[in-house]
């Protein structure tokens, strides 16, 4: 059974119990009030009849010794008058019925002669009256008894009011209330059904959204209704679903990148290994001259150097991702001098010029990693630049430190820029193999920038050169840095 169904049935059950309890008390109160009204009226009528009958009876006793016929005539006149009003009368003499047609079970009832006194306000000290309800022949009667007076203490008048009409009216009222209650409960059930369906609709939507996400629809979101707690739950659920979708996309992308890395790495190893195998078989099977043998060995050595260079780059990449870095104060002039010293031979081989501009005194970072980053950037610029062109190496103060490398090379398209920091990606594969490039340099630069919480920004257009900026996003003030002791000079 669903939650809304449980809540609906429980609420409806509580409503029915409360409603019928109210109806019961209302009907019971109405019944008791009606009986109380009839009891008070019966006390009044008994008092009136007893007083009038007592006066007439006393007059008969004073006029005639043989009073029985006159008494019967007098009693019959009273009895006939009140029968039309659903009232029966009986006259008792010392507890024995003298006149009237009430059954002995009524006139001799202990409850009638010994009940607690009812409504003392309607009683007189000399004429005590008692009231009780008795069932006679499946009919209820309201009985009132009392003596006729001081001189007639032996005589008791019994007043019996037939409650059949009262009970019938009460039964009709009860049936009416039950019918009305059935209609009200039916309407209430329909109202509660609609209300609970509406209130639990967001929960049903959340359940459906959960099921769809479980089936792999990570882009599905639950609708948000209103601003209540369930709406806040739906917003939190959507935020969680968005985060899950983002993580899943990252996992897929990471998986694709790892597979691409493996494919590229296997492809990159194939070429030097093929070279080594080919020249090794060549040396083994053919009797070569000394210069041919040296040339073959040089090819093998070049291929081995390429594999070694690739392995070193991969090792640097792995260490950069996980290893600790040492943050120190670095003098820009010293850093640029070390970079120029490292790439000076390659610059000379291609007859390239490098211009350094230093508008920044120092930065904070790992000196060896930043030197490796700049060497890779300048090396890429050398490989992309035509003979006789110029490369710029600049340090700028733009509130935060910026180091820039610019060349006049072939440039790149926007699509190529999106993939340039992926391992083994090459813009010009033939040119990279000729120059010994591994396709890992910019991936390493990207990792070094991330470890320094810096941004690696690449600006390039085909045939218009490339400009790469390393923009630090932290303050240059030493007191804002966590440093190790020592300077990089």
Q: Do 406 and 427 share a domain, yes or no?
A: yes
Q: Do 435 and 344 share a domain, yes or no?
A: yes
How many folded domains does the chain comprise?
3
Residue 207 included in any domain = no
Return phi, psi of residue 141, to 5°.
-125, 140
| Mean residue pLDDT across the chain | 79
pLDDT at 122 over 60: no
Q: Do 102 and 235 share a domain, yes or no?
A: no
Tokens of 243: 């985060």
Residue 106 included in any domain = yes
* Angle ∠(388,394,398) on CA atoms, nearest 5: 150
Q: Do 155 and 289 share a domain, yes or no?
A: no
Band of pLDDT at residue 482, cut at 50, 70 and 90: very low
Residue 467 included in any domain = yes
Residue 212 included in any domain = no
Q: Do 307 and 348 share a domain, yes or no?
A: no
Residue 192 included in any domain = no
Task: Write out pLDDT tens, residues 141-183.
Answer: 888 888 887 678 788 888 888 888 888 888 888 888 888 888 9
pLDDT at 439 over 60: no
Closest listed residue to residue 374, CA positions, set 342, 400, 352: 342
Instruction: Name the domain boundary from 290, 323, 356.
Output: 323
Q: Give the model's pLDDT for residue 390.
A: 93
Residue 300 included in any domain = yes
Q: Give the model's pLDDT for residue 470.
A: 92
Residue 254 included in any domain = yes
Q: What is the CATH number of the domain that holds 427?
A: 3.30.565.10
Band of pLDDT at residue 459, cut at 50, 70 and 90: very high
Band of pLDDT at residue 423, cut at 50, 70 and 90: low
Cβ within 8 Å of residue 230, ≥6 positions away:
202, 203, 206
Closest listed residue to residue 39, CA positions, set 100, 129, 110, 153: 129
Q: What is the CATH number of the domain that holds 23?
A: 3.30.450.20
Band of pLDDT at residue 347, cut at 50, 70 and 90: confident
Q: Do 354 and 371 share a domain, yes or no?
A: yes
Q: What is the CATH number of the domain that holds 247?
A: 1.10.287.130
Q: Do 247 and 362 share a domain, yes or no?
A: no
Q: Do 373 and 439 share a domain, yes or no?
A: yes
364: which DSSP letter?
Answer: E
Q: Do 315 and 340 share a domain, yes or no?
A: no
Instruction: Name the domain boundary from 323, 343, 364.
Output: 323
Q: Give the model's pLDDT for residue 114.
A: 58
Instruction: Name the domain boundary from 154, 174, 194.
Output: 174
DSSP annotation string for 283-322: HHHS---HHHHHHHHHHHHHHHHHHHHHHHHHHHHHHHHH
pLDDT at 462 over 70: yes
Task: Write out pLDDT tens, residues 12-22.
Answer: 899 889 888 88
Q: Do 472 and 337 share a domain, yes or no?
A: yes
Pairing of strands 139-147, 129-136: antiparallel
123: which DSSP letter?
Answer: -
Domain containing 294 equals: 218-323
Task: Write out pLDDT tens, residues 64-107.
Answer: 667 788 888 888 888 888 888 888 888 888 878 888 877 777 77
Q: Give the model's pLDDT for residue 126.
A: 39
Q: Do 83 and 138 share a domain, yes or no?
A: yes
Residue 181 included in any domain = no
Q: Do 334 and 479 share a domain, yes or no?
A: yes
């Amino acid at each position: 059974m669903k939650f809304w169904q449980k809540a609906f049935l429980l609420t409806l059950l509580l409503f029915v119990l409360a409603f019928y309890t109210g109806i019961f008390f209302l009907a019971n109160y109405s019944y008791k009030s009606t009986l109380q009204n009839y009891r008070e009226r019966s006390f009044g009528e008994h008092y009136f009849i007893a007083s009038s009958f007592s006066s007439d009876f006393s007059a008969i006793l004073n006029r005639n010794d043989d009073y029985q016929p006159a008494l019967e005539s007098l009693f019959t006149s009273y009895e006939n008058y009140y029968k039309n009003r659903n009232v029966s009368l009986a006259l008792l003499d010392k507890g024995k019925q003298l006149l009237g047609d009430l059954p002995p079970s009524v006139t001799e009832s202990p409850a009638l002669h010994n009940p607690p006194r009812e409504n003392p306000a309607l009683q007189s000290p000399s004429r005590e009256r008692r009231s009780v309800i008795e069932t006679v022949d499946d009919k209820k009667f309201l009985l009132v008894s009392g003596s006729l007076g001081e001189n007639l203490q032996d005589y008791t008048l019994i007043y019996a009011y037939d409650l059949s009409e009262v009970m019938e009216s009460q039964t009709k009222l009860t049936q009416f209330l039950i019918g009305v209650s059935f209609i009200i409960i039916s309407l209430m059930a329909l109202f509660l059904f609609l209300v609970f369906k509406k209130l639990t609709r967001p929960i049903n939507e959340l359940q459906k959204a959960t099921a769809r996400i479980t089936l792999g629809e990570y882009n599905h979101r639950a609708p948000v209704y209103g601003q209540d707690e369930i709406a806040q739950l739906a917003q939190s659920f959507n935020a969680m679903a968005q985060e899950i979708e983002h993580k899943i996309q990252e996992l897929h992308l990471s998986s694709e990148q790892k597979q691409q890395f493996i494919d590229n790495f296997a492809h990159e190893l194939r070429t030097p290994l093929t070279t080594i195998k080919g020249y090794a078989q060549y040396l083994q099977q053919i009797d070569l001259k000394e210069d041919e043998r040296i040339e073959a060995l040089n090819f093998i050595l070049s291929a081995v150097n390429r594999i070694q260079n690739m392995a070193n780059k991969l090792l640097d990449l792995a260490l950069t991702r996980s290893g600790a870095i040492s943050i120190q104060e670095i003098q820009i002039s010293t850093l640029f001098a070390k970079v120029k010293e490292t790439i000076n031979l390659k610059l000379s081989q291609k007859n390239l010029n490098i211009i350094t501009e230093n508008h920044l005194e120092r930065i904070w970072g790992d000196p060896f990693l930043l030197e490796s980053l700049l060497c890779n950037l300048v090396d890429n610029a050398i490989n992309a630049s035509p003979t006789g062109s110029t490369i710029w190496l600049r340090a700028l103060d733009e509130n935060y430190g910026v180091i820039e490398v610019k060349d006049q090379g072939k440039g790149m398209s926007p699509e190529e820029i999106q993939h340039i920091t992926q391992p083994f990606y090459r813009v010009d594969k033939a040119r990279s193999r000729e120059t010994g490039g591994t396709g890992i340099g910019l991936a390493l630069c990207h990792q070094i920038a991330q470890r320094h919480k810096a941004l690696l920004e690449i600006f390039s257009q085909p045939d218009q050169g490339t400009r790469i900026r390393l923009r630090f996003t932290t303050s240059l003030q030493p007191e804002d840095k966590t440093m190790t002791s020592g300077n990089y000079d």
